[in-house]
Structure 1
Amino acid sequence: MKLSTRGQYGTRALLELALHQGERPVLLRDIAQRQQISLQYLEHLISPLIAGGMVRSSRGARGGVSLARTPEDIRLSEVVHLLEGSVAPVKCVDNPETCVRSELCVTRDVWGEMKQAIDGVLESTTLKDLVERQKKKEHPEAGMYYI
């Protein structure tokens, strides 16, 4: 399974919004600049995130985008499934009827296990988790003690 830029950039855009949760709405151009994403591509990605109930948009002088839910309520599984679809590495894992050998195929079993593992990681990771990881990367010395 390989994430496309839709999944990668969409997740990074949501992370940026989570980092600024509770502040005024964020302009798309600011997200694009900070995350090094094309503004045009970001504009294309925001629509499904709004439709999926993860982002809200506000117009006007203080307009922009913000998270529609709290960072702890948005799981990466929801983001990836919305932007990418299934994380199955091959079609027959989700749709066994697409392959006449699906009942006998041992490799399909392995691909199914792979999908379950990916789903498990994505389901157990929230935007809040990403915010915490980001803060640790920005300030790695915060967890160190000196004598």
Structure 2
Amino acid sequence: MKLSTKGRYGLRALIDLAQYSEEGPISITSISGRQDISERYLEQLMAKLKKAEIVKSVRGAGGGYVLAKPMREISVGDVLRALEGSLEPVECAGLEPGNSCSASDVCVTKYVWKRINESISQTVDEIKLEQLVQESRKKQCTAGRRAKVECRN
């Protein structure tokens, strides 16, 4: 499985949003500047995240984006599925109900694909946005970048 820039940049943008939106909505321009991602691309990513009800937009002066729910309730899997679609690296007709695979009854490789798919889903669903924000803050404090980041020793 190889993630596209949609998943990689979208996750970075969402971590940034979660980290800085505690005081209010964050603009695309702010995220773009910190993450070095084009504003036009971020707009497309945020539209997908909004459709998936992961973020909300706030209109008007001082508007921007905020999380639609607490960051402890948003998994990496939620974000990646919203941006990438299915995360299954192998699509196997033998695993689908009412499948059209003629070898399904005797095929044993479908169990390999099933385990790989389940393992990926479990991993990305266990990692929450809150954990990534905490890790990001630690890294920024260690690197000495304390602007708008609360560092605790």
- TM-score norm. by structure 2 comes to 0.83
Structure 1 CA distance for aligned equivalents of residues 8 and 100 of structure 2: 28
Residue-pair matches, total: 144
Q: Cα deviations across residues 104-134 of structure 1 (Å, max 9, x unaligned)?
A: 3333221211111111111111110100111
- Runs of 4+ in structure 1 deviating by more than 6 angstroms, as ranges, are 141-144
Give 5+ residue unaligned stretches, structure 1. none
C-alpha spacing 1:6/1:100, structure 2 compared with 1 (3 Å): farther
Aligned counterpart, 1:115: 117
Letter in 2 for 1:31: I
SS at match of 1:87: coil
After superposition, residues 1-147 of structure 1 pair within 5 angstroms as 1-92=1-92, 95=96, 97=99, 99-140=101-142
C-alpha spacing 1:69/1:98, structure 2 compared with 1 (3 Å): same
SS at match of 2:65: strand
Larger deviation: 32-41 or 88-97? 88-97
Structure 2 CA distance for aligned equivalents of residues 88 and 58 of structure 1: 34
Q: CA RMSD in A?
A: 2.2
Quote the offset at 1:98 in angstroms. Answer: 5.1
C-alpha spacing 1:143/1:75, structure 2 compared with 1 (3 Å): same
Contact 2:76 2:128 in 1 (8 A): yes
C-alpha spacing 1:111/1:42, structure 2 compared with 1 (3 Å): same
- TM-score norm. by structure 1 comes to 0.86
Letter in 2 for 1:67: L
Contact 1:48 1:82 in 2 (8 A): yes
Letter in 1 for 2:36: Q
Structure 2 CA distance for aligned equivalents of residues 95 and 10 of structure 1: 30
